[in-house]
Structure 1
Amino acid sequence: MENFSTESIPDLSGSTAVVTGANSGLGLQTALALASKGASVDLACRDRQRGEAAVKQIRAETGNKNVRLRQLDLASLDSVRRFAADQDGPVDLLINNAGVMATPHRTTADGFELQFGVNHLGHFALTGLLLPALRKAPAARVVTVSSLAHRGGRIDFEDLSAQRRYRPWARYNQSKLANLLFTFEFQRRLRTHGEKPVAVAAHPGFTSTNLTSGMNHPATLDILGSFFRLLGQDGAAGALPTLYAATAPGVRGGEFYGPGGPGQLRGRPVPVTPAPQALDPLTARRLWDVSARLTGVRFPGLG
């Protein structure tokens, strides 16, 4: 679909979308667009105050009252399990959007390195636990948001907790590579077992959001902020690849979407090719098995 925009999104009345990290940035823009087309949207957010403000904004701007806040902390498997247990109907769209970037070395409530724990393991667990709700929908899509940073990633299976060495950007790159490996392995399993849901991925290119807020390096933060504001596209444009993957007709499982401009930095969404390491099925299978062991989430019926 050439020149895709939010106006290209079909009517979504009667469908339910779950968007993680929907209180700001790409997640907020994604939720706004889906709500504007009639979807019931659950904002899966950690911060109640910011989440309530986002609900109020989306309802005011779209006139859609079927928008609600559901608290979710991806850094806590207990929170992820509570969220999934409270799901009260089918999920047509699961948008795995939330993330942290280049933070100081921290751990989740379950002891995982924060970026790997939130960006990958939290979404892995959420998707597996919501699989029954996804199966209830007629044509569910799971869209996981990666990044151009995946190109520099490798999975350090020998030190996933970063106890030996912690480099913030290397760990961010790893988490974004994990998003793609998860998506492609998930789709392989869905296809093998004849399942209706499909798994796809997207990246926003070079987009100015508040993702850098987790850093504690003021000088770096100032430089990056200026760079993003100068060269990056806004959040509404950055959300278009995610929205395309979630709503455009003809999207197939295992595809990856990003901006079509030079270097995939900005522009309308198009199918893009991931880095070679994202396409390694052996690494993907190993990551899947490790993730299932660490989270205790098994994706029933998918082996």
Structure 2
Amino acid sequence: MTFLSTPFNRDTTADEVLRGVDLTGRRAVVTGGSSGVGVETARALARAGAEVTLAVRNTAKGAKVAAEITADTGNQAVLVAPLELTDLDSARAFAAAWQGPLHILVNNAGIMALPELQLTPQGWEAQFATNHLGHFALATGLHHALAAEGGRIAALSSTAHLYSPVVFHDINFARRPYVPLEAYGQSKTAIVLFAVEAGRRWAADGITANAVMPGGIRTPLQQHAFGEDMSDEARAVYDAYPWRTAAQGAATSVLVAGSPLVEGVTGRYFQNSAEAPVIDPKELETDIEPVGVARYALDPVAAERLWELSTAAVSA
């Protein structure tokens, strides 16, 4: 099988990916657009001419970031709207309030490796609920807007998906020990499965959906996985990790969201600004940031099963 390659690599920045790309007239939503990779994703899209809405929990912080992006890029169409992904009503309200077409949806926001099991009021494990279900409700709620002019979805996954498939018989850790990185990994596998099934279901609507691995960036997302009081083992991992800048981390997101190089491509997993091959999850044991996607994350049967489960969950 031939995987889609590009002239870019892990060191490429988001601005470099979109250099020469004109997104004037395109409208984008970036969840979690007020911190980390989200800021640089929004900045690059705005610099390319897109209208960008930062969908964020803290709108005051979002407004400051929007003003900074406008000052940097000269793009006056950088907007802010409230979105709390753990609250499905918030995702529904955002989608209901959206007017007109939507060309780019970047499902960027997320939480990582919560140290203790947390459940939403509906009983869902918090990382699965935030990283997957909230974004699922948002994307399906925005389906008509995305279909209006052939929108693209970039859904942020992670190498951590190699820690766990979606454990359908016990998603919420009711019958197995809670392991933070397994819970996080399960949520990130769910994101890839979403892209696979959205790619299948929505291809006729002109919508593309692809999963993205941004790479490791020192952002608030790592606050639980790598805290100030980390063990010696965790410190060794932290120091050895091939960290990249937020601008480099945003490169693969904007490739999927705005580059003509991936026009019409859907249902795939991208890493280092290229489509990634299928690998064995055991590679995590020998490579701190392996390049590739687990076969279970691309499984069309699991993808359809997750879609049906998620539809029921967000409709409840």
User: Which category of TM-score, normalised to the shorter sequence, fits these structures?
Assistant: 0.7 to 0.9
Alignment match of 1:272 (pick from 276, 285, 289): 276
Q: Percent identity?
A: 38
AA at the equivalent of 2:267: G
1:245, 1:181 → 2: CA distance? Answer: 16
Say if 2:267 is the partner of 1:257: no
Residues 40 and 66, structure 1, Cα contact 8 Å, conserved in 2: yes
2:159, 2:17 → 1: CA distance? Answer: 25
Moved more, 117-126 or 208-217: 208-217
Alignment match of 2:220 (pick from 207, 210, 213): 210
User: Match of 2:280?
Assistant: none
Residues 163 and 181, structure 2, Cα contact 8 Å, conserved in 1: no
Q: CA RMSD in A?
A: 2.1
Residues 18 and 93, structure 1, Cα contact 8 Å, conserved in 2: yes
Q: CA deviation at 1:201?
A: 1.4
Q: CA deviation at 1:151?
A: 1.4
Residues 37 and 247, structure 2, Cα contact 8 Å, conserved in 1: yes
Say if 2:62 is the partner of 1:51: yes
Structure 1 unmatched ranges of 5 or more: 260-268, 298-303
Alignment match of 1:167 (pick from 165, 172, 179): 179
CA deviation vs aligned residue, 1:8-28 (integer Å, no higher than 9, x gap): 421111110000000001111
Alignment of 1:1-303 (within 5 A): 1-3=6-8, 5=13, 6-9=15-18, 10-103=21-114, 104-137=116-149, 139-164=150-175, 165-191=177-203, 194-214=204-224, 218-220=228-230, 223=234, 227=238, 231-251=242-262, 252-259=265-272, 269-273=273-277, 274-296=293-315
2:40, 2:236 → 1: CA distance? Answer: 19
AA at the equivalent of 2:213: H
Q: CA deviation at 1:206?
A: 2.4
CA deviation vs aligned residue, 1:168-213 (integer Å, no higher than 9, x gap): 111000000000011001111123xx22111111101222222123
Q: CA deviation at 1:94?
A: 0.3
Residues 32 and 109, structure 2, Cα contact 8 Å, conserved in 1: yes
Residues 59 and 67, structure 1, Cα contact 8 Å, conserved in 2: yes
1:118, 1:221 → 2: CA distance? Answer: 27
1:42, 1:229 → 2: CA distance? Answer: 35
Residues 226 and 238, structure 2, Cα contact 8 Å, conserved in 1: no
Q: CA deviation at 1:71?
A: 0.5
Q: State the secondary structure of the residue aligned to 1:61.
A: helix
Q: CA deviation at 1:228?
A: 6.3
Distance change in 2, residues 1:95/1:151 (3 Å): same
Q: CA deviation at 1:220?
A: 2.8
2:58, 2:231 → 1: CA distance? Answer: 22
Moved more, 121-130 or 282-291: 282-291
CA deviation vs aligned residue, 1:216-252 (integer Å, no higher than 9, x gap): 9642399569826963011100111111111121311
2:214, 2:98 → 1: CA distance? Answer: 28
Q: State the secondary structure of the residue aligned to 2:38.
A: helix
Residues 17 and 251, structure 2, Cα contact 8 Å, conserved in 1: no
With structure 2 as the length reference, what TM-score do the two structures score?
0.84
Structure 2 unmatched ranges of 5 or more: 1-5, 278-292
1:217, 1:204 → 2: CA distance? Answer: 21
Distance change in 2, residues 1:50/1:110 (3 Å): farther
Q: State the secondary structure of the residue aligned to 1:12.
A: coil
AA at the equivalent of 1:24: S
Q: Which has the higher contact order (CA 8 A, sep 6+)?
A: 2
AA at the equivalent of 2:276: V
Q: State the secondary structure of the residue aligned to 1:199.
A: strand
Distance change in 2, residues 1:11/1:2 (3 Å): same
Count matched residues: 285
AA at the equivalent of 1:113: E
Q: State the secondary structure of the residue aligned to 1:17.
A: strand
2:162, 2:32 → 1: CA distance? Answer: 23
